[in-house]
Chain A
Amino acid sequence: MKKKAVFLLLLALFSLAFGFRVGSTPLSWGDIWDIFAHKWFQQPTTLSNAEVIILWDIRVPRVFLSFLVGGSLAISGAIAQSVLQNPLASPFTLGVSSGASLGAALVIFMGLQLPFFPQYTQITMGFLFGIGTIFFVLGLSFQMDKGMSNTSVVLTGMVISLFFNGILSTLMVFFSQESSKMVQWSMGSFAMRGWSHVEMIFPVMVLGLLLSLALARELDLFSFGSAQAQSMGVATVPVKVGAFILMAWMTGACIAVSGIIGFVDLIAPHVARKWVGNRHIALLPASFLIGGTLMTATDTVARTILAPSELPVGAVTALLGAPFFFYTYRGQQKKE
């Protein structure tokens, strides 16, 4: 177990270091050390100001941001899979992403603006709509089924998802001039972010990880099924609702800083389960590390493979994610 933890940590550190190292501007390990020394210990540096900014203000925050977003999405995915006992469940299948898209679309199409922080209108609305959708889905499934069985929650989530997508497609016909902005938003990106975004998501992520670890025992019991969990003393409905809110909050924050990036929330928990098993006290941190590593690696690929041009990271995760999904699915079939 310890070996695995060390391995995952090393992998994560490697992805971070690799992310610092590569980019359209060539910087050597020596240059990187030089700039870190310059920033931390006020050492003089021979590198140009542009190179210092490129590493310290662009690459480093971007690499951290992608790691934090990937990790948070992975934890959200692990929670969704465990609570719903469904390997395909994720915050996105529960409607968070389509809700957030709808919120962002309303901002783009209607030209809405927040009074004091107009530049944050889109991310705030994405965040609120993402979380709002989860409440909407939970409320509806509670109406249909007071026990909130997994099937009714998943089904409601998918129906609401499709419903919101329908509204979105209709809006895009009416506002065809703006629809390209919408398409870009829905592809997700870490470009043009800086330290301020890292500062926004860091507390969300730390708190989310701690709260989810506090729920680890309940999540373990959920893996046996709701009825079993209830018989073992878990107040299923309140715990479910609490877990969903935690998940929606983390996902909403991720969407707010990066747009919609799929697959990591689905894949990372699956890889983590294969590695460390189903006990959440190990599964959640492992999911975080794997999700973060995956996201940082894919974002590094997205911004370097065609440098100086960039690919949308959402497209790259999907390109890498889809084959992985079929691989795990086939693996499961073979076992049966």
Chain B
Amino acid sequence: MKQSKNKVVLWLLCLSLLAACGGDSGTAQSSVGTESSNTEVESSSPEADAPEDGGEGSTLLAFEAGSVVQDPSGNEFIVPESMDRIISTAPSNTEILVALGLGDKIMVVDTYSQGIDGLSADVMAVEFRSPDVESLIMAECDILFASEHNMEGGEDPYAQLTESGIEVVYIPTSETLADIYADILFFGQLTGQVTQAEGVVADMKATVQTVTETLAGVETKDVYFEISPAPYLYTFGTDTFLHEMLELAGGNNVFASETGWFAPSEEAILMADPEIIITNAGYMDDALGEIISRENWTSLQSVVNEDVYLVDENLLARPSQNVVLGLEELARAIHPDLF
């Protein structure tokens, strides 16, 4: 957590420095001076995230066209002159771009992004992991927003695009709220929609705050969160985004002693006897019925009380502004009397 916050602060610093350098040379000098004095304060105490909260809209500036910028994954790219034709190859990126009011400029998406509200009807779709590079080049776009997810297996499917003159920006699969806020602000700065991006982030923070305030002093409940149904059970321990969300939503992960993603054994779940079972296997025909009818689960308190809930599989899986909607849904499942 500390590390990621540091990353965000560093990020914002880099960005504001870059923005400052682009400005009028006389004033730039002095503003760089004040920025660097900020640096010392922040690096010594990373908890004080000044740029995020201080002065609405005043610290963030859109990137200058033609300048060299680092994307959140650490790759350098040149900010293109125009951004009227956009390729987005991950649903999280598409959702953020649409939220910033750029839905009509998206020309090409990946197959998972199809169906996101706000895209034009004739948007072209390419395969998520092995996109057809030729059709991407033929789409004559200015910029491509890729996800580190596209690179699973270590191969960069867009290397050829960079060579053909399309700027490729990589957004990491962020695993904390703070990183998602930073990603959205980056989108805003790059596309010139800074105010919208700040608005989106402010809305997210407000939702999170409402949830945490409602839950203040409320007792947590033991939750087993299943992300893959029988017979291949899959869940998570700490150090995952879903764990962070589960705790924010007033739940107590029964597998908090484990880290990362793993396949739990059936007997471990029976022994934990969670108060609530949550699944996001919405692609199943009857995900809840399947859990309730499991041969050996009939004595679990959550099954007896039918405290088994289905949450949307996309809201919490895509690092975009919609994760807070997933958070609300989760809180509603765990504390139905409060939400």
Which A residues have a C-beta under 8 Å from some C-beta of B?
A: 23-25, 49-51, 53-54, 57-59, 113, 118-119, 176-177, 181, 184, 189, 191-196, 303, 306-312
A50 close to B270 (CB less than 8 A): yes
Shortest Cβ distance from residue B129 to the other chain A in the assembled complex, whole angstroms: 7
| Cα distance, A59 to B268, chains bound together (Å) | 12
Tell yes or no: B127 within 8 A of A by CB: yes
If the complex has contacts A54-B270, A189-B232, are A194 and B296 also in contact, measured as CB distance less than 8 A?
yes
Shortest Cβ distance from residue A173 to the other chain B in the assembled complex, whole angstroms: 8
B263 / chain A contacts, CB cutoff of 8 Å: 191, 309-312
A57 close to B265 (CB less than 8 A): no
Q: Which of B129, B230, B268 contacts A308 (CB 8 A)?
A: B268
| Cα distance, A181 to B129, chains bound together (Å) | 17
Q: Which of B111, B128, B255, B265 has the most CB of A within 10 A?
A: B265
B268 / chain A contacts, CB cutoff of 8 Å: 24-25, 307-308
A192 close to B294 (CB less than 8 A): yes
A303 / chain B contacts, CB cutoff of 8 Å: 265
A24 close to B232 (CB less than 8 A): no
A176 close to B230 (CB less than 8 A): no
16 A-B pairs whose Cβ atoms sit less than 8 Å apart in the complex: A23-B265, A24-B271, A49-B299, A50-B270, A51-B271, A53-B270, A58-B296, A113-B285, A191-B233, A191-B265, A192-B230, A192-B266, A196-B295, A308-B265, A308-B268, A310-B264
A58 close to B255 (CB less than 8 A): no
Q: Which of A58, A184, A192, A308 has the most CB of B within 10 A?
A: A308
| Cα distance, A57 to B111, chains bound together (Å) | 43
A58 / chain B contacts, CB cutoff of 8 Å: 266-267, 270, 296
Tell yes or no: B84 within 8 A of A by CB: no
B258 / chain A contacts, CB cutoff of 8 Å: 308-309
Known: A50-B299, A59-B267, A310-B264. 11 other contacts (CB 8 A): A23-B265, A24-B271, A176-B127, A176-B128, A181-B232, A184-B228, A189-B231, A191-B232, A309-B262, A310-B263, A311-B263
Shortest Cβ distance from residue A38 to the other chain B in the assembled complex, whole angstroms: 15
Tell yes or no: B275 within 8 A of A by CB: no
| A62, closest chain B residue (CB) | B266
B267 / chain A contacts, CB cutoff of 8 Å: 23-25, 54, 58-59
| A180, closest chain B residue (CB) | B228
Shortest Cβ distance from residue B70 to the other chain A in the assembled complex, whole angstroms: 31
A54 close to B271 (CB less than 8 A): yes
A307 close to B128 (CB less than 8 A): no
Tell yes or no: B329 within 8 A of A by CB: no
A181 / chain B contacts, CB cutoff of 8 Å: 232
Tell yes or no: B273 within 8 A of A by CB: yes
Q: Contact mask B166-190 → A, CB, 8 Å, 1/0?
A: 0000000000000000000000000
B233 / chain A contacts, CB cutoff of 8 Å: 191-192, 310
8 closest A-B pairs (Cβ-Cβ)? A308-B268, A309-B262, A194-B295, A192-B231, A192-B230, A54-B267, A184-B232, A57-B296
If the complex has contacts A50-B273, A58-B296, are A193 and B231 also in contact, measured as CB distance less than 8 A?
yes
B265 close to A310 (CB less than 8 A): yes
Shortest Cβ distance from residue A74 to the other chain B in the assembled complex, whole angstroms: 23
If the complex has contacts A53-B299, A176-B129, are A25 and B271 also in contact, measured as CB distance less than 8 A?
yes
Shortest Cβ distance from residue B36 to the other chain A in the assembled complex, whole angstroms: 48
| B257, closest chain A residue (CB) | A308
A176 / chain B contacts, CB cutoff of 8 Å: 111, 127-129
| A194, closest chain B residue (CB) | B295
Shortest Cβ distance from residue A8 to the other chain B in the assembled complex, whole angstroms: 29
| Cα distance, A196 to B263, chains bound together (Å) | 23
B230 / chain A contacts, CB cutoff of 8 Å: 191-192
| Cα distance, A3 to B263, chains bound together (Å) | 41
Shortest Cβ distance from residue A273 to the other chain B in the assembled complex, whole angstroms: 34
B290 / chain A contacts, CB cutoff of 8 Å: 119
| Cα distance, A24 to B272, chains bound together (Å) | 11
